[in-house]
Amino acid sequence: MAKYPLLAVAHRRWSCGLEVGFTRWLGSFKDCLKFITLLLSIQDAVTMPPKRVSHVRPEDPPEPLEVRVLKRWIPYFKNKEKMIDLCYLLVDIHGDAIEAVADVTKVEYFDSLINVQHCYTVDKYVSSPQRQYMPSAPHVASLKIRKKATFTPLLDKDIPTYYYNFATYDDLAPRMKPPKLLTDYIGRVEEVSPIMFRSGKKLRKIIIQDERCNEIELK
């Protein structure tokens, strides 16, 4: 090749041009793959329905849930050292409910993120067993919400604005045993007592009667 310097130069230029052209083609091909992958991910997000709340099980990996936040509360314990939970009741479009539990010491952060009666796509939660004391929904699982969890607002979602799990009179006795599921009950108020004082606390007794004339007393 040294005997023909012009041919050598032409060969090098041709080789460089081929290399540059191949590199550009390869870069364009990679860009096309990225674009196709993006389109497929968007298609999956659009076509795949969110996971149903009733299908969540403990230890499941997180999948997006579309829910409305119905309630927010901090469970009451006589021993205030146990007040570690900030609880939310979530319901999906099918009317199924599940609890979400956050760290009560981070209440200001979660109050800035989550609003009652607002709808969200919830993701990056931890699926855990249901709370062992006074859960508000008959579900085997609950959602543990940490700072990694995401609450993306949903607009114009036809998700129920309420949730009830009514009990009959016969259901009440079993629910008095652990885990003491919080209960909704329908009845007619038959009697309301005057205010009483016991152990320095105000009390009022209310008698409720159901459609079968069974009576229960609330304090």
pLDDT tens profile 90-127: 999 999 999 999 999 999 999 999 999 999 999 999 99
* pLDDT band for position 46 (cuts 50, 70, 90): low
Domain ranges for the chain: 1-48, 53-154, 169-218
Query: Which of 79, 164, 87 lies closest to 131 in space, CA to CA?
Result: 87
134 — pLDDT class (breaks 50, 70, 90): confident
Q: Mean pLDDT score of the chain, rounded to an integer? A: 83
Distance CA 33, CA 23 (A): 15
> What's the confidence (pLDDT) of residue 101?
96
Residue 6 in this model has a pLDDT that exceeds 50: no
pLDDT recorded at residue 147 = 93
pLDDT of 58 above 90: yes
Which range (8-17, 172-181, 198-207) has the least confidence?
A: 8-17
Q: How far apart are CA 17 and CA 200, in angstroms?
A: 93
Q: What is the mean pLDDT of residues 13-19?
A: 53
> CA 4 to CA 71: how far, in whole Å?
86
What is the CATH architecture assignment of 53-154? Beta Barrel (2.40)
| Percent of the chain whose predicted confidence (pLDDT) is above 90 | 52
* Contacts of residue 66, Cβ cutoff 8 Å, sequence gap at least 6: 50, 92, 93, 119, 120, 121, 122, 154, 157, 159
pLDDT confidence band for 30 (50 / 70 / 90): low
What 8-state DSSP symbol labels residue 148? T
Q: What is the pLDDT of residues 137-181, one digit of tens each?
A: 999 999 999 999 999 999 867 899 999 988 999 998 988 888 888
Residue 9 — very low, low, confident or very high, per pLDDT cuts 50/70/90? very low
